[in-house]
């Protein structure tokens, strides 16, 4: 049985009141949703809270899911993305999401965000990525603007295709591709300044 | 020239094909044109390298492991039941003590899960802080509670002490004291109206004593005590003690006996 068919069957059973089917849905999708929340929100605590909120909202609105309108995973990702956007708006003042080339002052010679990231740290091994390197990449990901961040996360970490991403983000496929390319390039520029000798 | 159209591909076309080229889905003539433009154009060439590098960095991120209690938390907050997998997968103890412990664990686990969350821990902390501040303001010390004797006799004694303290406090209130003073004044003002009947009672008692032939002793002592209580005693009216005097015995026609003086010495210890 394919994933889409299995998910549709689980949803039908769950709407009918089958608690085991709901637990199966939670077991199948909680890891993916947690990772999406963690990469977007940046912290494990926020990711845990947001994952729970996603499943609470999913549990309440599961009967509104229409199998004919798209895959269950796309519907779940859309739900998660809407919640993440809400969370981002609520915590906007606590975050610094400017572009790498933006400066915090109006002075033309002021340091950019990329320049202020320290250069210290060991160079990444070509074969094995150390834990510190992954943390550096994760922190650099948080510096991207939310539009670019969500696009590269859905494409490169969640392995979704462009059409699904366009459905989730509610933008044309061309815009999705452009955001992914810009997001990748901006992340590389940030890390390039961190590990100049390697890149 | 950078940013300008070369022989076959423009920069906008290059940008549109960038994703396909990185994904490896671009082939044939379009791929060769794309690579040619990347070599020639000074804007698009670095962009291709940066996008490839960014993708490789992102692919280096591995999937993180969610917390262990995440699934049980989700199930508790949605369907309100614990995971059936966890319940069936656990070893069921056979002893009655183990069963009780297992049941207690099942019943307490939702509370423990809720209490572990930071927001509830913060609430508990604030409640404890408020309680401790209230107790300290009220003068209650936890060390006193620790040494409290819970025996029945001690509790009874504490009860009487507390009752006495409350009564004393009540009587010391200014308002109550003034009310009691007024009541006392009213009683004293009403007392002279009752004196004639009291004198009549005394006369009746005297007559009764005169006519009494029963031989019972008279209640003089009682009357004297009552008189002394009402009459003021002045120091001038008391007899002056002049010390011991010699005792003299004189008889007519008899020889005068020898004078004997008796002196008593009181020893104070």
For chain A, the distance separating the N- and C-terminal CA atoms, rounded to the nearest angstrom, is 45
pTM of the model: 0.54
Is residue A181's pLDDT more than 50? yes
CB-closest option in B54, B70, B118 to A184: B54
**Mean pLDDT, chain A, whole residue set:** 82
Nearest to A51 by CA among A72, A73, A30, A22: A30
pLDDT for A185 equals 94
- With an 8 Å Cβ cutoff, are B50 and A22 in contact? no
Is residue A199's pLDDT more than 70? no
* Class of the domain covering A3-93: mainly alpha
> Mean pLDDT over residues B233-239, rounded?
51
Please give the ipTM for the structure prediction.
0.76
d(C-alpha B110, C-alpha B91), whole Å = 20
Question: Which chain A residues are closer than 8 Å to B43 by Cβ?
Answer: none
pLDDT tens, A116-170? Answer: 544 444 444 444 557 788 888 999 999 999 999 999 999 999 999 999 999 999 9
Interface test with A, best of B24, B26, B57, B84 (most A CBs within 10 A): B57
- Burial, B69: exposed, middle or buried (Cβ in 10 Å; 0-12, 13-18, 19+)? middle
Query: How many Cβ atoms from other residues are within 10 Å of residue A74's Cβ?
Result: 17
pLDDT for A189 equals 92
> Mean pLDDT over residues A60-85, rounded?
90
Q: What is the band of B195 on the pLDDT scale with cuts at 50, 70, 90?
A: low
> Mean pLDDT over residues B65-92, rounded?
73
Q: Are B11 and B38 in contact (CB under 8 A)?
A: no
CA-nearest residue to A28 within chain B is B71
Q: Are B9 and B34 in contact (CB under 8 A)?
A: yes
Q: Which residues of B, range 78-107, sit inside 8 Å of A by Cβ?
A: 78-79, 81, 83-85
pLDDT for A154 equals 95
Question: Which chain A residues are closer than 8 Å to B62 by Cβ?
Answer: 134
Q: Which residues contact B158 (CB under 8 A, 6 or more apart)?
A: none
Domain ranges of chain A: 3-93, 96-194
Q: Are A192 and A199 in contact (CB under 8 A)?
A: yes
d(C-alpha A23, C-alpha A25), whole Å = 5
pLDDT tens, A13-42? Answer: 988 888 889 999 999 999 999 999 999 998
Range ranked top by mean pLDDT from A52-66, A105-119, B139-153, B213-227:
A52-66
- With an 8 Å Cβ cutoff, are B55 and A156 in contact? yes
Q: Which residue has the higher pLDDT, B65 or B117?
A: B65
Handedness of CA B69, B72, B76, B79 (dihedral sign): positive
- Please give the full DSSP string across A143-172, using - where no structure is assigned: TS-HHHHHHHIIIIIS---HHHHHHHHTS-
CATH entry, A96-194, from 3.30.465.10, 1.10.10.10, 3.40.50.1220, 3.20.20.150: 1.10.10.10
């Amino acid at each position: 049985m394919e994933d889409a068919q299995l998910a549709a069957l689980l949803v039908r059973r769950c709407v009918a009141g089958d608690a085991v089917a709901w637990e199966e849905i939670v077991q199948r999708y909680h890891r993916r949703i947690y990772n999406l929340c963690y990469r977007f929100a940046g912290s494990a605590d926020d990711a845990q809270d947001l994952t729970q909120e996603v499943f609470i909202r999913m549990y309440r609105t599961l009967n509104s899911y229409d199998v004919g309108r798209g895959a269950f995973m796309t519907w779940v990702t859309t739900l998660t993305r809407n919640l993440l956007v809400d969370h981002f708006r609520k915590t906007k003042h606590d975050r610094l999401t400017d572009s790498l080339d933006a400066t915090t002052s109006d002075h033309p010679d002021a340091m950019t965000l990329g320049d202020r990231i320290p250069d210290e740290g060991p160079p990444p091994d070509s074969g094995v990525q150390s834990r510190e390197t992954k943390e550096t990449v994760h922190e650099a990901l948080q510096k991207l603007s939310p539009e670019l961040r969500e696009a590269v996360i859905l494409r490169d970490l969640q392995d979704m295709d462009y059409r699904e991403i366009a459905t989730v983000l509610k933008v044309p496929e061309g815009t999705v591709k452009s955001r992914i390319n810009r997001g990748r390039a901006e992340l590389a520029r940030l890390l390039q300044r961190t590990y100049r000798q390697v890149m | 020239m950078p940013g300008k159209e070369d022989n076959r591909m423009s920069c906008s076309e290059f940008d549109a094909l960038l994703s396909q080229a990185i994904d490896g889905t671009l082939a044939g003539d379009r791929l060769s044109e794309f690579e040619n433009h990347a070599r020639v154009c000074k804007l698009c060439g670095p962009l291709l390298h940066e996008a490839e590098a960014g993708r490789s960095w992102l692919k280096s991120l591995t999937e993180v492991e969610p917390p262990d209690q995440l699934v049980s938390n989700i199930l508790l907050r949605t369907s309100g039941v614990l995971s059936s997998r966890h319940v069936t997968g656990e070893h069921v103890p056979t002893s009655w003590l183990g069963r009780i412990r297992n049941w207690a664990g099942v019943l307490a686990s939702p509370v423990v899960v809720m209490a572990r969350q930071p927001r509830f821990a913060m609430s508990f902390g604030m409640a404890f802080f408020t309680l401790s501040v209230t107790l300290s303001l009220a003068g209650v010390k936890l060390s006193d509670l620790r040494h409290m004797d819970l025996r029945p006799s001690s509790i009874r004694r504490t009860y009487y002490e507390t009752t006495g303290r409350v009564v004393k406090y009540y009587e010391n209130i200014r308002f109550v004291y003034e009310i009691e003073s007024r009541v006392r004044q009213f009683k004293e003002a009403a007392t002279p109206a009752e004196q004639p009947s009291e004198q009549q009672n005394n006369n009746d008692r005297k007559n009764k004593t005169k006519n009494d032939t029963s031989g019972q002793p008279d209640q003089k002592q009682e009357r004297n005590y009552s008189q002394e209580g009402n009459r003021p005693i002045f120091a001038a009216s008391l007899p002056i003690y002049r010390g011991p005097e010699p005792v003299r015995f004189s008889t007519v026609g008899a020889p005068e006996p020898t004078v004997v003086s008796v002196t008593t010495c009181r020893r104070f210890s």
